[in-house]
Amino acid sequence: MYVGRERPTGGFEVFAWFFMRISGVVLILLVLGHLAIMHVLNTVDEIDFEFVAARWGSPFWRTYDLVMLWLAWLHGLNGLRMVIDDYVHRKGWRAVTLTALALVGFVLLAMGTQIILTFEAPTSRVTAGLP
């Protein structure tokens, strides 16, 4: 008996099966660390633009956030793909939902990657447009 999804026998599905498990283990460390720092030790009372700008001054946290974004987003998208596989059987609807998933998936991953890689802390509050 399997508790998780039964291990597939070939092709992309085997890759996906292993990806879910490997990314899952890495994400446990990255996400629990992220939650502890950003939601428990600090809270939204402290976090604002200046907080994130200072944090992203460090290449370590940028890399951390980028790796976490890619793994979490792909892990989640593949999970939703399996949910669609389970519940959407009509051929037309499958094409529509899977295409929408791929499009939204690509756009949001591109947005997240762009802001992490290209964000530049403003040199002053004035250039940032802040009071």
Partner 1 sequence: MYRGREGMWSWILHRVTGLGILLFLAIHIVDIYLLGWPDVFNKLLFLYRHPVFRVAEVFLVAAVLYHALNGIRILLVDFWVEGTRLHRQIFWAQVVLFLLIWIPTSLLMLSPVVFGR
User: Is the C-alpha dihedral spanning 26, 29, 31, 34 positive or negative?
Assistant: negative
Q: How far apart are the C-alpha atoms of 65 and 71, rounded to whole Å?
A: 10
24 binds partner 1 (CB under 8 A): yes
Residue 105 dihedral angles phi and psi, to the nearest 5°: -60, -45
Interface with partner 1, residue 16, by CB under 8 A: no
State yes or no: residue 45 binds partner 1 (CB under 8 A): yes
Taking CB under 8 A as the rule, does residue 52 contact partner 1?
yes
Query: Considering only residues 14, 83, 95, 96, which one is a binding residue for partner 1 as defined by CB under 8 A?
Result: 83
Gyration radius (Cα) of the chain, Å: 19
The separation between CA 12 and the C-alpha centre of its own chain, rounded to angstroms, equals 21
Size of the site for partner 1 (CB under 8 A): 44
Restricting to residues 84-103, which ones interact with partner 1 according to CB under 8 A?
none
Q: Residue 73 in 3-state DSSP?
A: helix
Confirm if 76 and 27 have CB atoms less than 8 A apart. no
Residues interacting with partner 1, by CB under 8 A?
A: 1-4, 7, 21, 24-25, 27-28, 31-32, 35, 39-40, 43-45, 47-49, 52-53, 69, 72-73, 76-77, 79-80, 83, 104, 108-109, 111-112, 114-116, 119, 122, 128-130
